[in-house]
Structure 1
Amino acid sequence: MIILRASFQFARRVKQLKTSLINDEKKQDIDKISEGFKESKKGDDKEEIKQNQQNLDNVQKKVFEKKFIKSSEFLMACSHQPALSLPEEILKKARKVFSKYPPDELREASYKYMRMYQLLHALEKPLSITIKRNNLFENPENLQKLTEKKVIHLYKKGTSEQELLDKIFERRQKKDLSLDRLNSAEQKLEEFHNFASAIDYDQILTVSYFLRKVPGSFAVSQKIMQEIQKRNPNFNPQSMLDYGSGIGTWAWSFKKLYPDVKNIVCVEPNLYMRKLGKFVSQDYIKDIKFYESLSHTLELSYDYFDFISIAFVLEEINHPEARFLALQSLWAKLSENGIMILACPGSPTGFRFINDFREWILKQKGFIVAPCQHQQTCPMAKEGFQWCHFKQMFTAWPKDVFPKYIYENTAVTEKFSYLAVSKKNWIQEGQEWPRITFDPLKRGKHLILDMCTEQGKLERRIIAKSHGKEGGYYEAKHLNGGDLWRFPKLPPSKVGKKRRKQPVKIL
């Protein structure tokens, strides 16, 4: 028995040695394969980086690439985008700016700023759009009384018209500006130049504007510019002018889409805005230029611009004549092949300014580029109980840039109204498709869509499940307000109601 036990132990030991040798050989083979794989992987790292960059550029397309959505027409019809964020160069400058102020004090100052800003456009009802007014861009009487009481004074104290004219004359003499290049609208606009706006920006209010309004304004500018670039791929601007630019938010998005353009000009009357804009933009846009007024741009070698934007400015200008003169002078500076954009908050006040600008442009024989599919008057302005507006999500400031509370959202929605016009009739892709005005209403086996057609009329269509892929039922679930509808008009049910079977009589 002892001999048998010893022989069994010896056999087990031999078997263990054999398995250990086999495992060592396997490990050596695996190490050789892994070393070879690492050497090959080092050569493929550069190709993988390029592929990742291409994937990041095509994120929007990959979101909608599903079994039933692969067509380029669907991507052309979609205008909504994922949440947008500021460039990394701007975030680095924002860290330095916000670190100079205590977070609680800056947050409280920004809340006060937002209350003042909301008073400029949040007190109006949609019915005021249909009220007859004497002049364009004029506030109704009830709104004007409220703003005069609650918002800051209209004009700076201690300045007369003669003093303003003397200052204008001295400024022109210092810069040796030729008066022949000034049009009548710019001359009159200079008289309003020294008048205070509704919000008198000082240093703390300027930083509060940077904290609260800049991320949303950047997301809105990105969406509008990408919409124009999608509809007009041949548009190649060589110069850009932003009136009431603030710290240059729209110039950042313009530089992101058109990186080769060097002629970028920002006009901002406020001194604190210009200083902060130069500091924040110096790493992202090296060739940006800030001016105090439009007359100072006469020192440039060119008089006309291919791209002009005036965004979130009209609600802060108190006098209606100054609003009209600003738009009139900018329209005169637009080139024949250029595009001009007016953007306002997505409120009844903002839509009223957009509608007044639309009526004036049609009288000037201009053409509407976006978002409308027609060249007639706006059908929503006739009703008075709704207004045309869009929305875009953006990411809030990261925690390392500005601290936030737990209940604050990381993704915020900005509502806006806009109108892009030109002096030339652009041939756009998808111009014959109607635009969805509001988000689809999802019901049982059908959807309800409100549309603004190419004939300038409002329609409500029912997209039933019986329409299938050809009628756009499956695609409509992934569309939002502002997108285009590329399918033909069909009745609510393509097949018709099925006949109910007669009940069986029980004898």
Structure 2
Amino acid sequence: MELPMTLQAALAEQLDSAQQAEVLSAAGEVSRRYRAREKKSFQIRNRAEALAYALARMPATYGAVCRALRYSLEGLGGLTQAPLSLLDVGAGTGAAAWAAAGLAELSSVTCLEYADEMRKLGESLMHGEGSPLKQAEWSRLELVSQPIGKRADLVVASYVVNEIREEDRGKVLAKLWEATGKLLLLVEPGTPEGFRVLKEARSRLLESGAHVLAPCPQEGPCPLPDGDWCHFVCRIQRTRLHKLAKEGEAPFEDEKFSYLAVSREKGNLCGARVLRHPYRGKGYVRLELCSKEGLKQQTVSKREGPLYKAAKKAVCGDLF
């Protein structure tokens, strides 16, 4: 998976107009602070850092949201026939909105971001030639203290809730759910902490009347044992600029992510979620699944024809 060509071109154009050495120097510092999750110090302080963040993190965020949103939309069925309005909360430089634009017809797009330099850069990227998001509106929002003030069919908050202080998360989740017309998608790092945050969010949202669309195939307690966590992986192809920002030569990177999708109406998902990379033996495939009945292992043999073909194609995260 890779960024849309129009977004790649817009990022390259922004870098051409900046001091490349300054941006690449900023990339290392931004990446260090991001990985360390230094909540008090992780602030984008200038345009160079905003561009460094976009080069380093937009591909992974785009890929994770793409994958999570594709699985989420599978459960909406007929609800996606009409164009969807989108609200990207904590938008950063707009990666989630770009992902949504590639998967659904969007009637309107609103991006809400507190950091001025991130918001300015995100807006500039969407105004590039050939962009499908030229009509997107950007506004400044401090999510904890201010009301969202808008509502949309699809609300996305990617890598946001985990950054909120624990005592404020319930209030923030209530705001996000209030703003949701059809579908709310939360995406977080695929770590034990990211999963814990989403597991708590799942409980709060179910109490508020939400219905789980994905990844869970049921709305009861999570069947995973203590010490385990639900997460998935998307492989991102690195561009030349991405390699520079990451100071690496590998042609790809793997982004581990966890997600939760809830809706106003019950979805129509059928099947079980593949939780691990399938084991492909000689003439059989063994799957680790989360089903309506709980965790189970299913072995599909070559003799089972179409089911075997489906099992061979399945990857971690798919419905089976």
The TM-score range, normalised by the shorter chain, is 0.7 to 0.9
Number of positions where the alignment pairs a residue of Structure 1 with one of Structure 2: 311
> CA contact under 8 A between 1:396 and 1:410: conserved in structure 2?
yes
* TM-score normalised according to structure 1 size: 0.57
Contact 2:185 2:261 survives alignment (8 Å): yes
Partner of 1:322: 168
Could you tell me the percent identity over the aligned residues? Answer: 25
Structure 1 or 2: more helix by fraction: 1
Q: Does 1:114 align with 2:114?
A: no
Name structure 1 gaps, 5 residues minimum: 1-83, 121-150, 154-197, 486-507
Q: 1:91 to 1:332 in 2, by over 3 A?
A: same
Asked if the contact 1:432–1:454 (Cα under 8 Å) also holds between the matched residues in 2, the reply is: no
Q: CA–CA distance in 2 between the matches of 1:440 and 1:255?
A: 30
Distance 1:451 1:86, change over 3 A: same
2:185 corresponding residue in structure 1 = 341
**1:390 and 2:221 correspond:** no
Deviation at 1:477, TM superposition (A): 2.6
1:306 corresponds in structure 2 to 153
Q: In 2 relative to 1, CA 311–406 (structure 1 residues): closer, same or farther, beyond 3 Å?
A: closer
Q: 2:313 aligns with which of 478, 492, 498?
A: 478
Q: 2:313 is paired with a residue of what secondary structure?
A: coil
- What are the Cα deviations for residues 465-489 of structure 1, in whole angstroms up to 9, with x where unaligned? 5x4416x34442322111222xxxx
Secondary structure of the 1:228 match is: helix
- d(CA) in 1 for partners of 2:92, 2:173: 17
SS in 1 for 2:218: coil
Whole-Å separation in 2 of the counterparts to 1:404 and 1:269:
24
CA contact (8 A) 1:95 1:402 kept: no
1:252 matched to 2:115: no
Kindly provide the amino acid, as one letter, of the partner of residue 257 in structure 1: L
Q: Deviations over 1:68-98 (max 9, x none)?
A: xxxxxxxxxxxxxxxx222222222211222
Deviations 1:231-262 (A, max 9, x none): 3342234421111001111112223334451x
Amino acid across the alignment from 1:418: Y
Q: 1:229 to 1:474 in 2, by over 3 A?
A: closer
Q: In the alignment, what sits opposite 1:34?
A: none
Q: How does 1:250-289 map to 2 (within 5 A)?
A: 250-259=96-105, 261=107, 263-283=108-128, 284=131, 285-289=133-137
Distance apart, 1:102 and its partner CA: 5.0
Conservation of the 8 A alpha-carbon contact between 2:276 and 2:287: yes
Query: Does 1:358 find its partner at 2:202?
Result: yes
Cα distance in 2, alignment partners of residues 405 and 292 from structure 1: 29
Per-residue deviation at 1:199?
1.0
Question: Computing the radius of gyration over CA atoms, which structure comes out larger, 1 or 2?
Answer: 1
Q: 1:420 aligns to what? A: 261
| TM-score, normalising length: structure 2 | 0.87
Task: Name the structure where strand makes up a greater proportion of residues.
Answer: 2
1:200 is aligned to 43
Q: Aligned partners of 1:290, 1:404: CA distance in 2, in Å?
A: 26
CA distance in 1, matches of 2:240, 2:103: 24
Counterpart residue type for residue 85 of structure 1: E
Select the residue among 441, 444, 449 that pairs with 2:279: 441
Matching residue within 11, 16, 33 for 1:94: 11
Would the aligned equivalents of 1:199 and 1:316 in 2 still touch at CA under 8 Å?
no
What is aligned with 2:305? 469
Deviations 1:25-80 (A, max 9, x none): xxxxxxxxxxxxxxxxxxxxxxxxxxxxxxxxxxxxxxxxxxxxxxxxxxxxxxxx
Aligned residue runs from structure 1 range 17-32, under 5 A: none
Cα separation, 2, equivalents of 1:273 and 1:445: 51
Between the aligned partners of 1:320 and 1:376, the Cα distance in structure 2 is 24
Q: What CA distance in whole angstroms lies between the structure 1 residues aligned with 2:87 and 2:70?
A: 17
* Distance change in 2, residues 1:464/1:239 (3 Å): closer
On the 8 A contact 2:85/2:106 being kept in 1, the answer is no
The code of the aligned residue for 2:258 comes to S
CA distance in 2, matches of 1:254, 1:435: 22
- The alpha carbon displacement at 1:109 in A equals 2.6
Superposed displacement of residue 264, structure 1: 1.2
CA distance in 2, matches of 1:417, 1:404: 24
